[in-house]
Amino acid sequence: MIASEVSTDDKKFLKLAVNLARRNVGLTGKNPSVGCIITYEDIIIGRGNTQIGGRPHAEVMAIKQASEHYLFKKNRKTKNINVYITLEPCAHETTSPSCAKEIVNFGANRVIYLATDPDNRTNGKGKLLMEEAGIKCVEAKIYKNENSDILKGYLKQKKIGLPYITLKIGSTMNGKIATKNGESKWITNSTCRKRVQLLRSECDGILIGKNSIIVDNPRLNLRDQFEEIENKPIFILDTNLELSGFQSLSIFEKAGKDKVHIITSKELKEKTINESDFFTRVSIENAKMVQDSLNLQEILKIVSRVGVNRLLVEGGAKVWTSFLKTGFFDEIVMFTGNKIMNDSATSCFNDFLPIDTQLGDFPNLTLTSLLKWKDNIEAKWIANS
């Protein structure tokens, strides 16, 4: 557990494991995206990361590769094998043996991992299982920022049962998201719009308000270099189920029941459902009202139930404001275009605190990254908890 147990070489291999884990962020479903490196006398003999959909796990991939390496085949009995993983290996058996058991069977001298898996079925049990087999286990506790960024959705979901929430906003330099007439194409440039594709690829689900769907008619799909990736589940907040009158919108074109979820306060009669083709193509979920909005906590429970660990909230102003108001957000990725608009154009946020709130009582964020894309800005702001 102490830092001195982690050598410079260990750090190097752990860094490589982090890089491997980075690759499949947003593509591993409910499972965390993990990276694994296996060395024999400081020579890498196996690399693995969690595969698309969540299985096989990183350790299994790395062990498979290492098993076929000539150095391993030749020196099968050696104890000079280290396994580097970004997360404690799982201890629970599903259709296949647990990763902890796989490592024991493979035979390692040391296992160094970056964080304990908070999943109740593991949470130290993976470590125990390997220690009982005589393997030395070390929780390195380094690369915390990089690894947390990869695991943030999984860790938050396991710890408090809520997804990690990113508000994605595209605004003018004075914070406007659309003209008075609703025009917003395009406030940010094509590079920023590609970055949005990256954000979509890295999340597990997209949440958006009914108004944005009607006004912007977005596809919310993955395109360009991301088009091979399966589209993410979409959650539309539609209090009064008005979208049933807009069935020709792009989002419903190729909708399958498990992809588009409409969250509404309106209870549907079975008759209505059976009579309309629309309700066979979308999934209707119910949430209660709190004042004049849908209950956000209920919404997030629905999102979690669908298996979303990382949620991208694409707007609009009313939706972002409700996340701001309730504090249910973790970060804001703000794309700033190079336009100035009238003040009476649509703002990115509405009022979210009482009118007489003092300066010191408005929330502070932490700026963790700032990028210039030609004449546009991408800034990542983390909520201070």
Q: Which residues would be at the binding site for a second copy (CB under 8 A)?
A: 171-176, 179-181, 183-185, 187, 324, 332, 334, 336, 338-344, 347-353, 355-359, 362-367, 370, 372, 374-377, 379, 381
Tell me the Cα Rg of the chain: 23
| Distance from C-alpha of 368 to C-alpha of 385, rounded to nearest angstrom | 15
Cα distance between the two ends of the chain: 27
**Residue carrying structure tokens 């390496």:** 69
DSSP, res 121 = T
> Is 146 assigned a catalytic role?
no
Q: What is the DSSP string of 297-313?
A: HHHHHHHHHTT-SEEEE
Contacts of 175 (CB under 8 A, 6+ apart): 347, 348, 349
* Nearest-approach distance from CB 149 to a second copy, in angstroms: 18
Instruction: Of 53, 36, 65, give the one whose Cα is nearest residue 126.
Output: 36
Question: Between residues 40 and 381, which has the closer beta carbon with respect to a second copy?
Answer: 381
* Nearest-approach distance from CB 235 to a second copy, in angstroms: 23
Question: Between residues 9 and 351, which has the closer beta carbon with respect to a second copy?
Answer: 351
Counting every residue written for the chain, the total comes to: 385
| Distance from C-alpha of 356 to C-alpha of 35, rounded to nearest angstrom | 49
Instruction: Of 121, 25, 107, 35, give the one whose Cα is nearest residue 72.
Output: 107
* Nearest-approach distance from CB 383 to a second copy, in angstroms: 10
From the candidates 5, 41, 59, 227, give the one annotated as an active-site residue: 59
Strand partners, 313: 167, 207
Do the Cβ atoms of 110 and 135 come closer than 8 Å? yes
Do the Cβ atoms of 66 and 45 come closer than 8 Å? yes
Question: Between residues 69 and 380, which has the closer beta carbon with respect to a second copy?
Answer: 380
* Nearest-approach distance from CB 195 to a second copy, in angstroms: 15
Taking the CA of residue 331 as centre, how many other CA atoms within 13 Å lie in the half-sphere pointing to its CB? 22
Question: Between residues 93 and 351, which has the closer beta carbon with respect to a second copy?
Answer: 351
* Nearest-approach distance from CB 86 to a second copy, in angstroms: 28
Question: Between residues 277 and 343, which has the closer beta carbon with respect to a second copy?
Answer: 343
Annotated catalytic residues are 59
